[in-house]
Structure 1
Amino acid sequence: YKVSKQADAVMLFFLFDFNELQPLFARLGYDVDRALAVRTVEYYDQRTSHGSTLSFLTYAGVLAAFDPESSWERFMVALESDVSDLQGGTTKEGIHMGVMAGTLDLVQRYYVGARIYGGALMFRPRLMDRLDGVSFSMRYRGTPLRVRIVGDKLTVLAEVEGFRVPVRVGVADNIVELGAGASHVFHIPPVPAAPDRHELPA
């Protein structure tokens, strides 16, 4: 049978962005492009039984770039996993802490798009119609930050309490340095209505 209990091979595309994976595969002698990555995800998606709550998180993350609706559906399943006891009796034995933490990570890294590139914390929000009003705290280089999305604006505030070092943050080509108590409002560029299915998180 061609069946996988959970997102195993697809986990590669969740843990590493494509720009990290491509040179790793090249060193091993494999030529991997984005189209092959998308085909790989789609192949396993048809054959995964999701026998683990973490499986829905993994697929939600990798699908965010090229199938946002499906990504959001998996995210909602992950959110409901303990509340609705989706695995049929496991919740009474204890909550699934991994999936709970994973849903927060998914919002930060895949929907708000927080990633480190070239010494700066960059944001590339997706699913903007679902993110309006999202607000969370995070640390970058030890400095506490407050991130908030309202409409098509993303605001980053470097908290005074606990401040360690100035940090560089950005959206698209707009990168600024924030000192203690400083904030910046970024305009979020529009996301194409029909994302290219050959794009994976970069």
Structure 2
Amino acid sequence: MRRLAVFLASSHGNDPAHTELAAAVGTELARRGIGLVYGGGHSGLMGVIADSVLAAGGEVTGVMPRSMVEREWAHEGVTELILCDTMHERKAIMAERADAFVALPGGLGTLEEIFEVWSWRQLGFHAKPVGFLDAGGFWTPLLAALRSLVDSGFLPAATLDDLAVAPDLPTLLDALHTRLHGVPEPAHGENWRQVSR
């Protein structure tokens, strides 16, 4: 996996653990040589993850509509900042640039983005894996609600089971790699941890 799209909040939220998580994820992505693709913002968890990737020597691609840049929401220190005209274009560019998609803690924007790429995968518009980093059980209530959609007959069980969900980044990256390539990621010394599935 060369690039990972991460959807997450443009605020810090109420729990400092979310900020710590974003920083740790950014550092680990850079350590593994995985580039970050994200919405291009400088504030909240978005800014934290970008800063941590950059501080660890990694590459960051931000994608943002010009109207948001004009409001001074853009992170000007990223490796590459791609400007576009609409939110639709932003999401399409992020989807094109990334090999997989992950949701970290966030709100409506995070949910809208991760659900869209997940539904695109279900419909066969791409074959890139989608996952939730459920650190501290943040996404557990949402996942339970999704299970109720399965029980109600509105969501195929296979679609829900196709999601990669893990409480920590190494396990989640292994699950994404398995879905992307059909096999677990080979061990790379200390960089990768084999997870039997």
Fold match by TM threshold 0.5: no
Between structures 1 and 2, the one with greater strand share: 1
TM-score (norm 2): 0.29
Between structures 1 and 2, the one with greater helix share: 2
TM-score (norm 1): 0.29
